[in-house]
Chains A and B, each alone.
Chain A
Amino acid sequence: MKRLLITTALGLSLGVAGAAMADVRLGVLVPDSGPAGLFGPSARQAAQLAAEDINTAGGINGEPVELIFADVGLPPAQAVQSVQRLWRAEGVQGFVGMHDSAVRAAIVGQLRGQVPYVYTAVYEGGECAPGTYVTGETPAQQLAPVIPWLAEHEGATNWYLIGNDYNWPRDTNAAAQEIIAASGGSVVGEEYVPLGSSDFDASLGRIRASGADAVLVTLVGGDSVGFNVAYAAFGLDAQALRLGTLIEENTLAGIGAANANRLFASMGFFASIDSDTARAYTDRLTAQFGADAAQPNGMGQSVYDGLMLMAALGNAAGSLDSDAVAAVADGASFSSPRGMATLDGNHVAQTIYLADGSSGAFEVVTSFDAVPSGVTCD
């Protein structure tokens, strides 16, 4: 039995090694399963559009790119199996990944800077490993311009912070504390609920009692949907506006128009961004994938940005060799449906949009250009 396994494994790896290696192979790590699995289809489609655009523009150093996908919506130990397989057996020269932070930490530990790796998901900030480049929005980016704007235009000054109990919400709220204080507001409550919660009654009671006029929601996925549905059922939408930093189009659809009054979201991309490039992007999705086109959203679309950055880095460095890329990385820039973005250190300064979901669909209210990531590595 075991010998049979080994021979098939050998066959597989030899077969792969024998395949043409002329193209530049890029590994695209997306969640097809697990809690983030709903972003899988939109992420894959974004990657395919990016590959087309890169190849139309001459590929990376004249070589067309070929994408190899892997599911990383898994526990880190299983996710890095796929990463290693792509790297060692399929000759992938660079990775673009959209997944959770635990998987990122595991991948960074495996790659150890030997291959360029672009991480594209919204995250808590602080990733400074060599060879790792980040396009995902950081708390500083999502909050620094937005909180003062909401104070000025919506009168939001007394903030209640609620999030799931893990690193990203805690780090986001730590950043929020400083920004709220700096903008003259105050934090009237802060609490965390376990991942997978479905009962928010006690929290809603506390929000009501706190007299908050704004709630920063860093709950994820189903928890966020459940919270927002109950929030509106209690009529709290009249008392306080909500701002979410991970409420994208799918989450909003789950919340429903009836429950979304005064629900704001802050991200680098919304399907309804009013610009030529953004409209062209969504039109191309429908044209290309027809009925299978996944709802465009910031999480999925971020993979497009990641690939664009990878191409920009490869072209600037003349190859995807990790040292060559590192030498030219700072200041590299690329354009995407989000607008222009520039690498500053290993994070990007990018445009941030604030959208209002009251109607059940996001309408972009305002945008902020070239917002710095707030992450400094030394």
Chain B
Amino acid sequence: MGSIVGVNLALLAALLLVPVLGGAFFAWQIGLFLIYGIAAQGVGFAWGRGGFLPLGNALFFGLGAYSAAAVLRVTDGALLVNLLAMLITALACGALAFGLAVLLFRGRIGSGPGFSLVTLALVLIAGQIAETTPALTGGFNGLSGYAPLAGLDPFGAFYYVIVALVMLVSCGFLLIDRLPAGLILRGLVAQEGRLELLGFALHRVKGWAFAVSAFVTSLAGALYASHQGIVTPQAIGFALSAELVIWAAVGGRMSPLGPLLGAVVIGWASATLRDTVAWWEVAVAAVFLLVILFLPGGAMDLVNRALHRLGLGPRPKALPPLAAPASRASTATGALELSDVGLSAGTVTILDGLSLRAAPQGVLCVIGPNGAGKTTMLNAITGRMPTQKGVVSLGGRRLTGRAPHQMLAQGIARKMQVPTVFAGLTVAQNLQLAMLAGRLNWRDALRPAPLRWQGDTLAALLDDPDVPLAAAWLKSAEHLPQGHRQLLELALTLAPDPRLVLLDEPAAGMSPAETQIMVRLIRAYQQRSGAAVLIIEHDMALVEALASEVAVLHQGRVLAQGTLAVIRADPQVTAVYAGGHK
């Protein structure tokens, strides 16, 4: 897949050759499928980069097409007015999509089929309205009899307008892939939970992805109006939405150019072969099924693999690192305080009036038998589970009621019990994402420099002879052994320089030697930064080595808190541990 410039020049050359080699009629045909292809790229972006599948993107295509047709009719195709109107409609579609996604994803809907079904229902409603309001849309018979954009002949110059949009959109998508914004989206698909812990609001990230998808799809719809000279309810219907998904899937949703390829090849082949090859539609459905079963990356996957084999694969250039700005997480101060926190799920009470204080500096180890509520306590602190009573605060600022993604800005970072890293990404990309956390503002998301950010904490970790991450730089994180994955997650957690580090069994699955390294790294960070560290651990060796203070949790309450010696002497604690282990 060479460089961006190379890919785009090849694409441009291929598109410009179409009318030269195939003639005006062929270019007109391909023009329609390029328009569909842009819309499919929009679907592919939401699906492949946003991780959610819109089943109703013809909504934006249709809105773009209908409003373009209406404006073309009134203005007789005048160029500037129409370009402006197209842009305004596309922006409105983007805003609509953003609002919709934020609203839905902020709720409990997740990236699952729930969202897809909402978009499906929306496009059914839109199709019904388009069909039954003839005054507005011309009804079933459609809106026609208007001049094309700037009077351009759909069989002539208009093709180059389509090519221009294809180039703009493709360049845009290829560029986004190489910017922090693209990395964040990859992180979203790879591991939502970690991205949230890194301080990114998932519903807003998904909102932007859907907005871009809608913006692009609406522009495609606007060109469709000029290309066809008629807009009918099919342009806003479920059937088109479904086809966009098929094209994106078969072409390859993970690649910016895949859906374009899918739309042009399947669309053109259908138009040409439909009347001569019996069973053509069955064949397309069968191909779709086979792709779902055996080739999730679509046709572009095959192309990329072939390019790779020919030695044309991507060769990441190592650029010198840049000093990262200060992290927002590093400025917080104060003690963590939980007072009388209650949390129950269903009829089971998990936290039962828990009160706990962690000093602004030092290492507090929380121990306790299974089911004591240790991990739930972390969930209550980080806003992952709603509490029913009590208050959690840090340095006097109330944390209760805040969303998980707001915790990093409060200075809180968390390492999960099961190592949670961006599985599909390389170690390098994992760490790049961690360096963006707490430091990125929205303008930075669209310039490449932040990808080279490096901080002292991360540099110290990578320079450590016992940390093998630098050697595995370009390895995918899912292929790391368990112990290395724990270290990677520790790096992800510490890179934003948090003031309160929550570690949930950091040594789980590690050998004694690896545990030693972990202990050393945690202590080093604590001493260098003067942060507070709260560790949940079963491994008493680790507790002994690290803890400046220990708290014992039992049945959702703090049984005892103090130095290790005090805890060891506490008769209540010994009773629980004697009885707790069956």
Contact = CB atoms under 8 A, between A and B. Distances in A.
Nearest to A89: B25
Contacts of B144: 105-106, 109
B228 A101 contact: no
A76 B22 contact: no
B140 interface: yes
A73 B330 CA distance: 64
A102 interface: yes
A6 B303 CA distance: 19
Interface string B200-229: 000000000000000000000000100011
A166 B25 contact: no
B22 A10 contact: yes
B11 to A, nearest CB: 9
Contacts of B28: 84
B281 to A, nearest CB: 7
B327 interface: no
B234 A77 contact: yes
B192 interface: no
A194 B275 contact: no
B131 A9 contact: no
Interface string A175-215: 00000000000000000101100000000000000000000
B487 to A, nearest CB: 43
Query: Which of A12, A77, A110, A195 gathers the greatest number of chain B CB atoms within 10 Å?
Result: A77
Given A3-B14, A82-B275, A88-B25, A166 B139 contact: yes
Choose among A3, A80, A102, A167 the residue with the greatest number of B CB atoms under 10 Å from its CB. A102
A105 B140 CA distance: 10
B140 A69 contact: no
B305 interface: no
B141 A6 contact: no
Contacts, number: 113
A85 B268 CA distance: 12
Interface in B240-283: 240, 261, 265, 268, 270-272, 274-275, 281
B93 to A, nearest CB: 20
B271 A166 contact: no
A268 to B, nearest CB: 22
Given A10-B22, A76-B232, A109-B144, A81 B29 contact: yes
Interface in B114-171: 128, 131-132, 134, 139-142, 144-145
B234 A76 contact: yes
B272 A2 contact: no
A102 B29 contact: no
B118 to A, nearest CB: 20
A278 interface: no
Contacts of B265: 1, 5
A105 B14 contact: no
A188 B252 CA distance: 56
A78 B271 contact: yes
A152 interface: no
Nearest to B154: A110
A370 interface: no
Contacts of A101: 140-141
A168 B22 contact: no
A166 B131 contact: yes
Contact of A109 (B23, B140, B229, B270): B229
Interface in A6-41: 6-7, 9-10, 12-13, 32-33
**Interface size class for chain A?**
35 or more
A63 interface: no
A90 B141 CA distance: 28
A137 interface: no
A154 interface: no
Contacts of A13: 22-23, 25-26
Contacts of B85: none
Contact of B132 (A2, A77, A194): A194
Interface string A101-118: 110011001100000000
Contact of B22 (A9, A75, A80, A84): A9
Contact of A70 (B21, B261, B275): B275
Contacts of A12: 272
Contacts of A102: 140-142, 230, 232-234
Interface string A265-308: 00000000000000000000000000000000000000000000
B344 to A, nearest CB: 44
B274 A82 contact: yes
B275 A71 contact: yes
A231 B21 CA distance: 59
Contacts of B235: 75, 77
A77 B275 contact: no
B14 A2 contact: yes
A167 B228 contact: no
Contacts of B261: 1
A3 B141 contact: no
Given A33-B281, A77-B224, A168 B140 contact: yes
Contact of A71 (B139, B239, B274): B274
28 contacts: A1-B303, A5-B268, A9-B22, A9-B268, A10-B22, A13-B23, A70-B275, A71-B275, A76-B228, A76-B230, A77-B32, A77-B234, A78-B270, A78-B271, A80-B228, A81-B271, A88-B25, A102-B234, A105-B141, A105-B232, A106-B142, A106-B228, A106-B229, A165-B132, A166-B132, A166-B139, A168-B140, A170-B139
Given A77-B235, A102-B233, A194-B131, 15 more contacts: A6-B17, A6-B22, A9-B268, A13-B22, A32-B275, A75-B239, A76-B234, A78-B270, A105-B230, A106-B228, A109-B230, A166-B140, A166-B141, A167-B134, A192-B132
9 A-B pairs closest in CB distance: A166-B140, A75-B234, A2-B14, A88-B25, A81-B271, A109-B229, A102-B232, A165-B132, A6-B21
Interface of A: 1-3, 5-7, 9-10, 12-13, 32-33, 69-71, 75-78, 80-82, 84-85, 88-89, 100-102, 105-106, 109-110, 165-168, 170, 192, 194-195
